[in-house]
Structure 1
Amino acid sequence: MEYHRLVWVLFVFVLFMHDGWGQTDRRQRQREKQQRRLAELSRATTSFGVSLYRQLASRNQENIVFSPLSIYTALSMTMLGTYGETKNQLKRVLSLRPRQGVHRALNAVFASFPRSPAANVTLRLANAVYYDDADVVLHDGFTRGLRRHYGAYPKAFERPNPETPINDWVLRQTGGKIEDFLNPGDITSDTVIMLLNAVFFQGTWKDIFDERYTREGDFTTTSGDVVSVPMMSRDGSYSVKAVGDGIPARVLELPYGSDDRFAMFILLPDEANGLRELEGRLSSQVLEEAVTNMPEQYRYQVRMPKFNMRTKMLLKDTLEAMGLTRFFKDADLTRMVRQSNRGPLSVDSVIHEAVLEVDEKGTRAAAVTAIGVSAVSLPPQFAVTHPFLIVLRDKKASINLFMARVNDPSSE
């Protein structure tokens, strides 16, 4: 009797331990799968950001500031409602590989952001969708995906001034840095859906620059002009290395806070006129290698300008040049809208605004991206529904070969 009881106890123990081991293995596999997703997302967003930067930089020599994450997220949200070649083009432009779980990966990244100010860093990301509930019924799968992955709960436009509540939302989400994002009339009578993403970042330098050492200094622009700007200065320990790949430039890391998660990297050409070469040779691989595996810190005197930058841009032409042709001209949005009283829909605008402020204490940055979906305006009709004349003409010879009157097309 005692023997059988002992065997039973050992059997239950083995079952319990096996189940525990199985759960441990499953958790480990889930962690590894999540890590692969995040690594793929890092690769994809870096590739997208570099491609977008190169497109923007090729157009002029002006200042540029934008949030790759904001634009990437807004396009990924839109992709939830696309199908066919439209979706395939988005995947290519977003550098997605087959079966890459981009929505889950983005959701995991959002969840990892600090929920409240910690380590002297604040980071907020929010998504929203507004739509015309009188003209369209959103697809259930689309709204579920928005809620599940992006925390976006669609809201109806507040006509006749739908821009006002959206601007209020943008102002709140960007810490008051972006005001009047939309102008009156930006949401037209044809606009039926607007998807938005907003990002706000505020970080205090790990080692603050002393304002007493900020002095006016010379800065040579791309055109060769020399301008006077307030230059911050600090003597301390910093990590610096060559950009790599034979590119004549160095990279400086400026960390924020105390947990070593966030940092600003400055890629500085060796020559005053070397930015064009750096941009020309910039790739996702070059950038990734430049901002990873930074070496041990050494003592440097860092001098850099304090500045405020703001850029607002319409990205339709830029994204078309990157490959999103169907996205704007013949988008398949069948997974976004279940019913439309306005006929076919099309993406007609991608608006992005970003601001970057750098001073002795740290950095404040905000960005917002809006993707507008409108009803396609149908061309005027020429409906041949009553008797008509026909002229069959040789235009070159200016001779009418045939003429006819059609009074009853059903009669021979």
Structure 2
Amino acid sequence: MKMRIALLAALLAVVFYCGCSRKDKDKIYPPDLFITYDCKYDNPANIDPELIEVADANNEFACDLYGQLKATGGNLFFSPASISTALSMTYAGAVGDTATEMRNTLRFTLPDEELHINTAKLVEILVTDRSKTQLAIANALWGQQGYSFVQAFLDLLAEHYEAPLNEVDFISAAEAARQTINTWVEDQTNGKIVDLLPPGSIDALTRLVLTNAIYFKSDWKEKFDPADTTQDTFNTSSTTSVTADMMHMDLLEDQKKVNFFSDGAVSVLELPYVKDVFSMFIFLPSDADGLPALESSLTYANITSWIDSMSKCKLAEIALPKFEFTSEFNLNSVLSALGMPTAFDEGLADFSGINGGIEQLYISDVVHKAWVKVNEEGTEAAAATGVIIGTTSMPPSFIVDHPFVFIIRHNASGTILFMGRVEDPTQ
């Protein structure tokens, strides 16, 4: 009989703040007008090369995922770090072609033992190198009570992922098991991810559920003043618009400098969180209809190049919409399209590393749900679009008044925790 593994990735994103005024908003200034200062990222955490290799694999996978999910339309938000971690735990029990496909899809390059060891080390750095930021990452296994799991599999996940085995009764009490797992997810995400497992997703054939939950909340290094938030036009396209709450930050008065880059097609702004451990990066196309072109160029190599090319600049102001939304996905078809269809094939999947081959196991579902909120004080997700500047005698402005892409990342390792886009901040 063919039994199921349900793989679940739960995530919560962070609250984002930023603001700016909209003087001379219709003027667009070329890059050579920016006043720039040398700015290079250092490596305060002294990250080992193996950890960077794990982070790079996660980030390559993040961009691959975005390339598939962008077709869903509307606002988009997900945690590649959460999804990659949950799949990495599952990979630990995969064998043969199933393992090979998963390894290639997840962009893993390290040998298996080093992969799991360094994934654990990277997570430890992320959750400890956080200053005043709230970052919690939790993993758990939910297995059929009395089932014969391979002890080496359980030991690996307990040691490197701190994922204990919780016994539940899928066979006789599937609904109770579903509610237990959903409650755990809700608790780990501070109540932001509710009912991750929908009714019917767990049944008597389920044998194992793997969960990962991530919660991030941080204040901006420079908060936006709520008194400066105004109702402004956000152009969802060149022909349609909505009225959104736009946060504003005047940078001229205090002569503040920000990390910025523009090549004429895309402008990138860094909004750091407290202590500069984490940052949000906003990728804004040059015009309201420029999102598809930006998304087509959204490779990890390009993201890295844009961020490496950033320099300290004087801007007149920043304007960013407030937003809050939830994204929810079943990733079966997405992951199959990225190169791991065998894991979902009940006749071909090989997860004998989990149960010793006593019965056929396959992944029935990979479920991911993410919530994001951005306001004047901090972040749980955000993105930006539009470069509009004042006069030629003053520094430019960064006005996010059309669709944009954003990421939230750990600066020392470069790990992308969250990734998304905003097409309509009012939705």
Normalising by structure 1, report the TM-score: 0.75
CA drift at 1:96: 1.6
Q: Does 1:99 align with 2:111?
A: yes
Q: 1:195 to 1:243 in 2, by over 3 A?
A: farther
CA drift at 1:183: 2.7
Distance in structure 2 (CA, Å) of the matches to 1:223 and 1:49: 29
Q: 1:85 to 1:172 in 2, by over 3 A?
A: same
Q: Is the CA contact 2:132–2:218 (under 8 Å) kept in the aligned structure 1?
A: yes
SS at match of 2:148: strand
Question: Which of 53, 69, 78 matches 1:56?
Answer: 69
CA drift at 1:157: 1.4
CA drift at 1:113: 2.8
Q: Which residue of 2 aligns with 1:183?
A: 198
Question: Which of 228, 231, 236 matches 2:246?
Answer: 231
SS at match of 1:162: helix
SS at match of 2:108: coil
Q: Which residue of 2 aligns with 1:165?
A: 180
Gaps of 5+ in 2: 1-44, 382-407, 409-416, 419-427
Kindly report the root-mean-square deviation, in angstroms, between the aligned alpha carbons of the 2 structures.
2.3
Q: Is the CA contact 2:127–2:137 (under 8 Å) kept in the aligned structure 1?
A: no
Distance in structure 1 (CA, Å) of the matches to 2:316 and 2:301: 27
The structure 1 segments of at least 4 consecutive aligned residues displaced by more than 4 Å after TM superposition are 365-368
Question: Which of 338, 360, 366 matches 1:344?
Answer: 360
CA drift at 1:299: 3.3
Q: Is the CA contact 1:238–1:252 (under 8 Å) kept in the aligned structure 2?
A: no
Cα deviations across residues 46-84 of structure 1 (Å, max 9, x unaligned)?
110001001111x24211100000000011000100111
Cα deviations across residues 311-351 of structure 1 (Å, max 9, x unaligned)?
011000111110111111121101111364xx311111000
Question: Which of 202, 207, 210 matches 1:192?
Answer: 207
Question: Which of 344, 349, 363 matches 2:379?
Answer: 363
Q: Which residue of 2 aligns with 1:278?
A: 294
Q: Does 1:206 align with 2:238?
A: no
Q: Is the CA contact 1:238–1:300 (under 8 Å) kept in the aligned structure 2?
A: no
The amino acid that maps onto 2:78 is F
Distance in structure 1 (CA, Å) of the matches to 2:262 and 2:365: 36
State the number of aligned residues: 329
SS at match of 2:356: strand
Q: 1:240 to 1:78 in 2, by over 3 A?
A: same
Gaps of 5+ in 1: 1-30, 369-412
CA drift at 1:184: 3.4
The amino acid that maps onto 1:295 is S
Cα deviations across residues 16-46 of structure 1 (Å, max 9, x unaligned)?
xxxxxxxxxxxxxxx99x7111121121111
Q: Does 1:65 align with 2:77?
A: yes
Q: Which residue of 1 aligns with 2:277?
A: 261
Question: Which of 139, 147, 163 matches 2:150?
Answer: 139
Distance in structure 2 (CA, Å) of the matches to 1:52 and 1:239: 29
CA drift at 1:137: 1.1
The amino acid that maps onto 1:185 is G
Normalising by structure 2, report the TM-score: 0.73
Distance in structure 1 (CA, Å) of the matches to 2:197 and 2:102: 25
Q: 1:240 to 1:271 in 2, by over 3 A?
A: farther
CA drift at 1:104: 1.5
Distance in structure 2 (CA, Å) of the matches to 1:289 and 1:128: 36
Distance in structure 2 (CA, Å) of the matches to 1:357 and 1:113: 21
Distance in structure 1 (CA, Å) of the matches to 2:49 and 2:94: 25
SS at match of 1:180: coil
Question: Which of 159, 167, 171 matches 1:156?
Answer: 167
Q: Which residue of 1 aligns with 2:397?
A: none
Q: Is the CA contact 1:240–1:294 (under 8 Å) kept in the aligned structure 2?
A: yes
SS at match of 1:296: strand
Q: Which residue of 2 aligns with 1:88?
A: 100
Cα deviations across residues 89-129 of structure 1 (Å, max 9, x unaligned)?
1111111225262211210111113459x633110100011
Cα deviations across residues 282-319 of structure 1 (Å, max 9, x unaligned)?
21100122234531242330001000021011000111
Q: Percent identity?
A: 32
Relative contact order (C-alpha < 8 Å, sep 6+): which is higher? 2
Distance in structure 1 (CA, Å) of the matches to 2:333 and 2:221: 39
Question: Which of 283, 303, 306 matches 1:290?
Answer: 306
